[in-house]
Amino acid sequence: NAGVTQTPKFQVLKTGQSMTLQCAQDMNHNSMYWYRQDPGMGLRLIYYSASEGTTDKGEVPNGYNVSRLNKREFSLRLESAAPSQTSVYFCASRTPPGTDPYEQYFGPGTRLTVT
């Protein structure tokens, strides 16, 4: 059982380049999320998808787009990378409300540096 997988693990981009971070989960969860984690800031929600075909903005969506390709996959795209987007990006999926524990599972993260 792979859980949540993310690719790539590491990436260096130049300012202005674009890239897509891939995420997939095999737990049949409806809800999926993208976070970024910066020192002293904690995890901040970029976008989320409550179900296949729907996406919504989180706390820090500017500079990003997402696609919920199907129930398993939720990708994050940086159209024109900026140094401020240097961060660790985590994808997550969550068990349905009412489940005990009501748990969010994270992927291993993508460490992105924009120069």
Partner 1 sequence: RKEVEQDPGPFNVPEGATVAFNCTYSNSASQSFFWYRQDCRKEPKLLMSVYSSGNEDGRFTAQLNRASQYISLLIRDSKLSDSATYLCVVINTDKLIFGTGTRLQVFP
**Residue whose CB is less far from partner 1, 75 or 104:** 104
Residue 43 as a binder of partner 1 (CB under 8 A): the answer is: yes
Residue 41 as a binder of partner 1 (CB under 8 A): the answer is: yes
> Which member of 1, 40, 53, 98 binds partner 1 (CB under 8 A)?
40
Residue 98 as a binder of partner 1 (CB under 8 A): the answer is: no
Closest C-alpha to 53, from 68, 31, 33, 75 = 68
Q: How far is 115 from 103, CA to CA, in rounded Å?
A: 35
Say which residues have a Cβ less than 8 Å from residue 95's Cβ, sequence separation at least 6. Answer: 27, 29, 101, 102, 103, 104
Contact residues toward partner 1 (CB under 8 A) are 33, 40-43, 45, 48, 58, 90, 94, 97, 100-104, 106-109
